[in-house]
């Protein structure tokens, strides 16, 4: 789908998917021993090694060689032309990188096209919730995940958050696209490119004094455990909130939404033995990995502020209080306080009252007259927040970094 029609769809209330991920994360080490059972994974069994000490060995080595040889600009230029799932890789890539990517782009044997199609339809029909939750839930939660906040802050993208959000948003809407994992879609491309970016970050961040000084002893960022933490801030959190909000989700839709993210985890390089097979397994893993690591860092607080400043660009600051209050409503006071979201005495009670009514109306549970006017203001602000990052009119290309944030 081209950028224009993508934006039209968003305007029409479709895949709000954007903004998601915003970051990527990982936290201060959870402390307790790894006890999540691989029998609950899509692989059904595993070696049981602690994912805090597992990275992505082969591609980490290949990308680190690309960086050291000074080949990043050339590789990025070639990869700009690689945009569709069914497209051959461009000629001219280093042979080892090409070989790796040709394998990495394949869907796992356990991918189920029927479930992926159901998930795509679900992402469309529930786009407003999914988009709001990716952008103002998961996205801002990433700043309360210390390892993620620091990795983002000290990496190259940390210096240009608007660009970074646009790139991260790409994964958010590609994953929610009707064609996500169809031949003409682009999610395999986006996930594999992201895997390369993460490999580059593993090579680069240890050279950043800012990162090394705050990493709490972690020598290489973005372990498999870290990726799982971020993963739970996405689908696990989003599904939990949708259920809390009483959005109608059928068992087939729920399973399909999990599935699209299982496939995504696989394509991002997470070993199948760590990818939860069911929501129960996912919730148990999230409890072990995500819950204990949420925390405050100066980097996370700064990133939150930058993000909300970007929001203020939409309308000279008018919607910043509303967006901040909506994020607090979505994330809860504990996380809201960790990232120093402002208290909004006007908007917070309004949102607490109006949002459930808006959801109930959208889900066909109450008639229109019961929806207060404020709900539409809120919905409009959320849409604009997401669209801001899609309206630059330039194609978004995820690129391998070759440097850290300038100090």
CB of 102 to ligand HEM, least distance (A): 21
CB of 20 or CB of 321, closer to ligand HEM? 20
Neighbours of 324 (CB within 10 A): 25
CB of 349 to ligand HEM, least distance (A): 34
Neighbours of 161 (CB within 10 A): 20
CB of 242 to ligand HEM, least distance (A): 18
CB of 152 or CB of 242, closer to ligand HEM? 152
CB of 158 or CB of 321, closer to ligand HEM? 158
In whole angstroms, what is the distance from residue 374 CA to residue 379 CA? 9
Q: 277 and 42 in contact (C-beta within 8 Å)?
A: yes
DSSP label at residue 181 = T
Q: 338 and 144 in contact (C-beta within 8 Å)?
A: yes
CB of 127 or CB of 221, closer to ligand HEM? 221
CB of 220 or CB of 357, closer to ligand HEM? 220
Residue nearest to ligand HEM (CB): 24
Strand partners, 404: 155
CB of 20 to ligand HEM, least distance (A): 7
Q: 275 and 266 in contact (C-beta within 8 Å)?
A: yes
CB of 165 to ligand HEM, least distance (A): 8
| Ramachandran assignment for 84, one of left (phi > 0), alpha (psi -120 to 50 degrees), beta (any other) | beta
Tokens of 320: 């910043």
Burial pattern 368-390, b for ≥16 Cβ within 10 A else e, equals eeebeebbeebbebbbebbbbbb
CB of 27 or CB of 336, closer to ligand HEM? 27
CA 83 remoteness from chain centre: 19
Within a 13 Å sphere around the CA of 194, how many CA atoms are in the beta-carbon half? Answer: 29
CB of 224 or CB of 324, closer to ligand HEM? 224
Q: Which parts of this chain interact with ligand HEM (CB under 6 A)? A: 21, 24-26, 147-148, 151-152, 155-157, 164, 167-168, 171, 194, 197-198, 201, 221-222, 226-227, 230-231, 234, 268, 398, 401
CB of 222 to ligand HEM, least distance (A): 4
> H-helix or E-strand containing 108?
none
Q: 300 and 146 in contact (C-beta within 8 Å)?
A: yes
CB of 52 to ligand HEM, least distance (A): 12
CB of 82 to ligand HEM, least distance (A): 15
Tokens of 401: 């970094």
CB of 275 or CB of 354, closer to ligand HEM? 275
Q: 370 and 354 in contact (C-beta within 8 Å)?
A: no
CB of 127 or CB of 146, closer to ligand HEM? 146
> Would you state the torsion angle of the CA atoms of residues 66, 72, 77, 79, taken in this order, to the nearest 10 degrees?
50
CB of 268 to ligand HEM, least distance (A): 6
């Amino acid at each position: 789908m081209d950028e224009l029609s993508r934006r039209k769809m968003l305007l029409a209330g479709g895949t709000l998917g954007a903004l998601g991920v915003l970051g990527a994360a990982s936290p201060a080490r959870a402390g307790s021993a790894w006890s999540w059972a691989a029998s609950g994974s899509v692989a059904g069994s595993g070696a049981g090694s602690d994912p805090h000490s597992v990275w992505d060995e082969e591609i980490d080595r290949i990308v680190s060689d690309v960086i050291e040889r000074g080949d990043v600009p050339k590789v990025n230029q070639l990869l700009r032309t690689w945009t569709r799932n069914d497209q051959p890789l461009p000629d001219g890539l280093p042979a080892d990188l090409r070989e790796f990517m040709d394998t990495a782009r394949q869907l796992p044997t356990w991918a189920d096209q029927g479930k992926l199609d159901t998930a795509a339809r679900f992402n469309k029909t529930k786009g407003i919730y999914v988009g709001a939750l990716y952008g103002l839930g998961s996205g801002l939660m990433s700043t309360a995940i210390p390892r993620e906040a620091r990795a983002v802050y000290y990496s190259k993208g940390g210096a240009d958050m608007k660009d970074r959000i646009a790139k991260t948003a790409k994964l958010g809407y590609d994953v929610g696209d009707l064609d996500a994992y169809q031949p003409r879609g682009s999610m395999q491309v986006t996930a594999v490119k992201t895997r390369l970016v993460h490999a580059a970050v593993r090579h680069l961040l240890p050279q950043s004094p800012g990162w090394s000084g705050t990493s709490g002893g972690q020598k290489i960022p973005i372990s498999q455990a870290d990726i799982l933490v971020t993963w739970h801030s996405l689908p696990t959190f989003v599904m939990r909130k949708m259920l809390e909000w009483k959005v109608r989700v059928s068992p087939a839709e729920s399973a399909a939404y999990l599935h699209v993210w299982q496939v995504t985890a696989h394509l991002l390089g997470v070993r199948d033995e760590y990818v939860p097979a069911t929501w129960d397994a996912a919730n148990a893993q999230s409890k072990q990995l995500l819950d204990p690591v949420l925390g405050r860092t100066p980097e996370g607080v700064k990133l939150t502020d930058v993000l909300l400043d970007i929001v203020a660009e939409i309308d000279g600051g008018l919607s910043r209080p509303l967006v901040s209050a909506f994020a607090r409503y979505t994330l809860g006071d504990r996380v809201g306080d960790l990232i120093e979201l402002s208290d909004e005495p006007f908007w917070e009670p309004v949102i607490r009252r109006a949002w459930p009514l808006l959801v109930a109306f959208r889900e066909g549970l109450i008639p229109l007259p019961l929806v207060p006017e404020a709900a539409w203001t809120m919905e409009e602000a959320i849409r604009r927040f997401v669209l801001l990052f899609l309206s630059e009119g330039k194609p978004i290309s995820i690129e391998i970094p070759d440097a850290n944030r300038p100090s």
